[in-house]
Amino acid sequence: MFRESASSFEVAQVLGAADAEGLTRPSGAPASRHFLMVSAPFGPFARELAQQLRASGARCTRVILNAGDALDWGFGPAAAYFGGRSGWKSWLYDQVLKRGVTDIVTYGDSNPYAADALMLASSLGMRRHVLEQGYFRPDWVTVERDGVNGNSPLPRDPEWYLSHPACDQHTAEHRVGLTTPYAIFLIIRYHLSVYLGTPIFVRYRAAYRHSAVRQAFTHVCRFVAARLSADRSRREHDKVMATAAPIFLGLLQRPGDSQLWRHSDYETAEAFLERIIPSFADHAAKDAHLIIRPHPLDPGIDDHNGLIRRLASREGVEDRVHYLDHGKLHEVLPRICGAVCVNSTAGLSAVEFGKPTLTLGRAIYDMPGLTHQGGLEGFWTNPQTPNAALYTAFRRVMMATSQVNGAYATPFGRRLAAPEVARRLTRHAR
């Protein structure tokens, strides 16, 4: 029923690397819990979570990969790594063995440092805990064993959710408020610290397609361009939304998002667009429209608008395919006939609105009764509507098993989340 977050081949690679470096597996595990945080959300959440874990009697240590990690962590017990990627796994193994680590905690499961740590933990039979942004945003964060989204150990069986005891439970929910300003501040602070600390952590390399400096610059450019073109974008948006013809929504994900290249066969937004636009042209009703919507955190480096125009023109649908970056998602969803994405949590929002949704990658919510199962070509003419009872059951089970009310960025959100995340981590046991 449950799936491991790393394939047997990947685990064998890690073990092979360990054996090649003369390492041996520990023969036993300490009785007390010792959490090693390999990666964490931007900001002080990891430090506050560690305080909660220590209050429960556990030990907690943070891996410091750069000056941003050091700033966020403060003066708690830490293990600083100054090496390059080639020595990371052997160093981490040594730390696990020397410090008596029983649990590995990561933020996300796809960053190279986190992915290696999770595979090593799997090979050693250790507990693995993965934090991530919530599947139901913005008022929730995710805490799962072993992996998230496509790597989640939760099953893709509708009957399992419908019969789960959590379906009879009601989870209280607090609104965390506006998170974006806090998140932007913490991200800027972190990356500025990384930059200033380069002389100390000279071998650290961030796993980004583009540098943080370039992304920051293009984010500003996108923000300014959006403000300057706001009236034109609103008019085009209103014109499309006013049509009586069917409207479909294509949801782009953030370029470079690890969910693309680790949990799907579409490594880039360009590959996704190359798949859906020709299919729409060939199979959708001749009066149907397709709105392509960018990710809110897309820095604007890739020219998606230009590519969409070229593809639409090539397929003869340039008047029916639109790149629109306007309005809130919840304002658009009631009008559409269906949404297609790779594995975005925005697709889950479409399911919540009762809209047919197709995922082309591996997503935790992709299952019969929730998402369209008939393939892309059939989606345009006969999309399958989600089952409302199944969605309700799925959401309640997710709240009870993987979602924690709160946020990583805001003070109030952290006060909500940290105690419950700590409780979930100490509860997880093999």
List, as one string, the DSSP characters of 29-87: --SS-EEEES---SSTHHHHHHHHHHHTT-EEEEEE-SHHHHHHHTTSSEEE--S-GGG
- 215 occurs within a structural domain: no
Is 93 in the same domain as 68?
A: yes
Give Cα separations from 416 to 52, 144, 166, 408 (angstroms).
12, 18, 21, 10
Phi, psi (rounded to 5 degrees) for 175: -80, 135
- Looking at residue 253, what is its pLDDT? 86
Dihedral angle of Cα 78, 81, 82, 84, to the nearest 10 degrees: -160
pLDDT at residue 59, rounded to an integer? 97
Residues 6 or more apart in contact with residue 187 via CB below 8 angstroms: 42
Indicate the number of domains in the chain: 2
222 within some domain: no
pLDDT tens for 178-188 read: 888 899 999 99
Does residue 318 sit in the same domain as residue 410?
no
173 and 126 within one domain: yes
Whether residue 409 sits in one domain with residue 385: no
- Which residues, 6 or more positions from 116, have their beta carbon under 8 angstroms from its beta carbon? 14, 88, 89, 92
Closest CA to 38 of 123, 126, 103, 125: 103
pLDDT at 172: 67
| pTM listed for this prediction | 0.85
Strand partners, 359: 341
Residues 414 and 358 both lie in one domain: no
Residue 240 DSSP SS3: helix
Residue 100 backbone class (left: φ over 0; alpha: ψ -120 to 50; beta: rest): left
- Token pair of 163 as six digits: 């019969």
In terms of domains, do 64 and 175 share one? yes
410 and 309, same domain (yes or no) = no
245/344 same-domain check: yes
Q: If DSSP codes are grouped into helix, strand and coil, which group holds residue 26?
A: coil
Quick: pLDDT tens for 88-134.
999 999 999 999 999 999 999 988 999 999 999 999 999 999 999 99
Same domain, 103 and 247: no
Find, among 251, 258, 253, 252, the residue nearest to 208 by Cα: 258
Give per-residue pLDDT as tens, 129-144. 999 999 998 899 999 9
Please give the residue range of the domain that contains residue 282.
Answer: 230-393
Are the C-beta atoms of 72 and 44 separated by less than 8 Å?
Answer: yes
How many residues belong to the chain?
430
For residue 3, being part of any structural domain is answered with no
* Residues 162, 165, 166, 168, CA torsion sign: positive
Show the tokens assigned to 222: 């996108």
In a domain, 253, yes or no: yes
Is 19 a residue whose pLDDT tops 60? no
Distance of CA 429 to the CA centre of its chain: 24
d(CA 349, CA 363): 13
Q: Which helix (H) or strand (E) holds 11?
A: helix 8-20
Of residues 237 and 4, the one with the higher pLDDT is 237
Count the Cβ atoms, other than its own, within 10 Å of residue 118.
31
Q: Is residue 105 part of a domain?
A: yes
Is 32 a domain residue? yes
CATH number of the domain at 275, please: 3.40.50
Residue 423 and residue 308 share a domain = no
The mean pLDDT value for 392-421 works out to 95
250 domain-assigned: yes
The strand pair at 403-405 and 140-145 is best described as antiparallel
Considering only the C-alpha atoms of the chain, give the largest distance between any 2 of them, rounded to a whole number of Å.
Answer: 68
- pLDDT tens by residue, 325-352: 888 888 899 999 999 999 888 999 999 9
Nearest-angstrom CA–CA distance, 297 and 320:
25
- Residue 32 is part of a domain; what is its CATH number? 3.40.50.20
Whether 413 is covered by a domain: the verdict is yes
Tokens of 334: 């009631």
pLDDT over 90 percentage in the chain:
67
Residue 164 shares a structural domain with residue 255: no
Residues 153 and 302 in one domain: no
Tell me the DSSP string of 366-420: -SBTTB--SHHHHHTTSPPPPPHHHHHHHHHHHHHHTEEES-SSSHHHHHHHHHH
pLDDT of residue 297: 77
